[in-house]
Structure 1
Amino acid sequence: MGAVKNLLVLYTGGTIGMLQTPAGLAPAGGFDARMRDHLAQRNDAPTLQWTLRELNPLIDSANMQQANWLAMRDAIIEAVEHDGHDGVLVLHGTDTLAYSAATLSFLLLGLQVPVLLTGSMLPAGAPDSDAWDNLVGALRQFEQGLGNGVQLYFHGRLLHGCRASKLRSEAFDAFTVMERHREGERAAQIPASLDYRQVRQAVKLAVLPVFPGLCADYLRGLFDAGVQGLLLECYGSGTGPSDDQALLDALHGARQSGVMIVAISQCPEGAVVFDTYAAGSKLRDTGLVSGGGMTREAALGKMFALLGAGLDVEAAERWFALDLCGERA
């Protein structure tokens, strides 16, 4: 929990550094100079040493892809292991900020430095922007001392990296940690196969909410497209159509063919407890894995980290059921 002495600021794009273009706001380079100019004008600016690196290309976070997550992971590891940085601040757009925070939590398991993500709802320099408050507030967290692992800082709040969600599309307090029931056995240790040094590869994943009218044909379309992992957002405590045998058969057949299928609750404050209702038990019996009270962001990021490490579906399910970094417990 000591103060960070040599911080990397990893600028990925996003609203915080956007400038106006004829087509609208777009990510812009040169944020290093803008950040230094602003801090030089503040009497209360944090005094820690920092270096800014821009990822290429800079992106609007609405365009976030798995390749961008892997590029962030690689840049963070290089900064720590080769450049001697003892902390990393990631500047990121808000649309997928919670997804990236959760995913990096699993991609960086075992990395012994603090990683903090922040962004803003308005660009730096815009009237009444929250950008500099969020950025300076994040710097102060490093100055005061942060524990290792991935966290998110926004609007004066420090949030768990794989528990946060974006709740509001316009308000400055856009992010929160929902009160979801969490219960899970903590993994005794992180295996080498899931350590941050483990190379990852892209994975075909899909997220599908259960809704009235969901039928087997929709599921077969996903599975026929080569989906390796499906995150199924169920009703309430993990229920869904239990009287549609074709749908149940489609889920069971996909699991038998090696597709990982995870169930979470689509309720903002909910958790999967399959045995509460018969409708949940029937879904479980097709081969679904319970995500407990995990958020969509955490469940998707964890599936990517497990399957992307090359684990087969049985091994991935075993590790998914365990708490790796506070996502389930």
Structure 2
Amino acid sequence: MNQSIERLLVLYTGGTIGMQQSAAGLMPASGFEARLRAQQALEAGPLPSWTFRELQPLLDSANMQPTHWLQMASAVRDAVAQGDCDAVLLLHGTDTLAYSAAALSFLLLDIEIPVLLTGAMLPAGSPGSDAWPNLFGAMRALQAGQVQGVQLYFNGALLHGARVSKLRSDAFDAFAEAPRQRLANATAERAPALLPQRSAQVMVLPLYPGVGAAQVQSLVASGAQALLLECYGSGTGPADDVDFIAALRQAHRQGVVLAAISQCPGGHVDFDVYATGSGLRDAGLISGGGMTREAALGKLFALLAAGLDQAQVEHWFGRDLCGEMAG
């Protein structure tokens, strides 16, 4: 358990929590700090001392891109380096909140202060909104020293940053740790600090009846450095499709990292169960175990952004770095 905090940095990226109505619909709006301080005056009980920073441009998180993950990670690192805070609370839209939480879990592996993300399903000020309960609940969790590493606070629950997914679009309990099998004895090694040197191109290919070599070749030609296959069941796919397997082998020879997760909400990859799974493994795929799409995508991005080569990425992808594979 971490010690309680004294200096909190609130990073506001946009999202529903601070949106206001426009002619085109709800849009991110500046001026949220003043609204937050006015609301805090109405809250009962102590709250940590905090400073506020807006990351520009403010975003509806549907517009969030991997470059914004790097921007958020850089803002946290700068604050830590300057000694400005003991913890960071990051306000973020819900559409891609789980993706950012996962990416930051890996991009900030070496950061010792807690980083907590939250947002809201309804804007602050809307009748019955969850904005203030989420925001002040997150502050109190940080103040009490309940947060470790990168986590998400939503609807009264603290959730692991690299295990969480958005499972509902129309309810306050929208987020949960996906019920995927994680191994208690997953290989854990102390990873190097994944200091970003560049952006990275990680692409996702869900398998479906009809997927083939053309889809693999198209993604590779578009610049994919890693290809994350969302496989059937326990990590199976059309292993009898000679052209599909050949395209995977060729991509791997070109240096593309090939990784596999299960597309089942409660699934995990075990290539040894079916021949159609071992066929994918033999084509160059590495197992993501029970990782979610968000975790696997963020992990591949962080490893590649740190400048690691194909063999190094494959090595670290298969090892538990922050609890994403073990539990």
TM-score, structure 1 normalization: 0.96
Matched, 1:227 2:224: yes
Unpaired stretches in structure 2, ≥5 consecutive residues: none
CA distance in 1, matches of 2:300, 2:197: 12
1:5 aligned residue: 6
Q: Contact 1:200/1:305 (CA < 8 Å) preserved in 2?
A: no
CA distance in 2, matches of 1:190, 1:236: 29
Query: RMSD of the TM alignment (CA)?
Result: 1.0
- Which runs of structure 2 are paired with 1:72-91 in the superposition (5 Å)? 72-91=72-91
Q: Contact 1:6/1:86 (CA < 8 Å) preserved in 2?
A: yes
1:187 CA displacement: 3.2
For residue 237 of structure 2, the aligned residue among 223, 236, 240 is 240
Matched, 1:213 2:205: no
Aligned to 1:122, the other structure's residue is in SS state coil
1:208 CA displacement: 1.0
For residue 260 of structure 1, the aligned residue among 257, 261, 270 is 257
CA distance in 1, matches of 2:196, 2:221: 27
1:47 CA displacement: 2.4
CA distance in 1, matches of 2:190, 2:301: 19
CA distance in 1, matches of 2:191, 2:246: 35
Aligned to 2:181, the other structure's residue is in SS state coil
- The aligned amino acid for 1:271 is H
1:147 CA displacement: 4.2
Q: Contact 1:114/1:146 (CA < 8 Å) preserved in 2?
A: no
- Which runs of structure 2 are paired with 1:102-141 in the superposition (5 Å)? 102-141=102-141
1:202 CA displacement: 1.0
Q: Contact 2:89/2:118 (CA < 8 Å) preserved in 1?
A: yes
2:44 aligned residue: 43
- Which runs of structure 2 are paired with 1:189-208 in the superposition (5 Å)? 189-191=190-192, 195=193, 198-208=195-205
For residue 269 of structure 2, the aligned residue among 267, 272, 287 is 272
Unpaired stretches in structure 1, ≥5 consecutive residues: none
Matched, 1:176 2:176: yes
- The aligned amino acid for 2:170 is E
CA deviation vs aligned residue, 1:233-274 (integer Å, no higher than 9, x gap): 000000010110000000011001100011000000000000
- The aligned amino acid for 1:320 is F
Q: Percent sequence identity over matched residues?
A: 59
1:25 aligned residue: 26
Matched, 1:312 2:309: yes
- The aligned amino acid for 1:165 is S
- After the TM superposition, which segments of 4 or more aligned residues of structure 1 sit over 2 Å from their partners? 183-188
CA distance in 2, matches of 1:71, 1:218: 31
1:110 CA displacement: 1.4
How many residue pairs match? The answer is 324
- The aligned amino acid for 1:227 is A
CA distance in 2, matches of 1:200, 1:4: 31
Q: Contact 1:240/1:283 (CA < 8 Å) preserved in 2?
A: yes
CA distance in 2, matches of 1:217, 1:47: 55
Q: Contact 2:115/2:151 (CA < 8 Å) preserved in 1?
A: yes
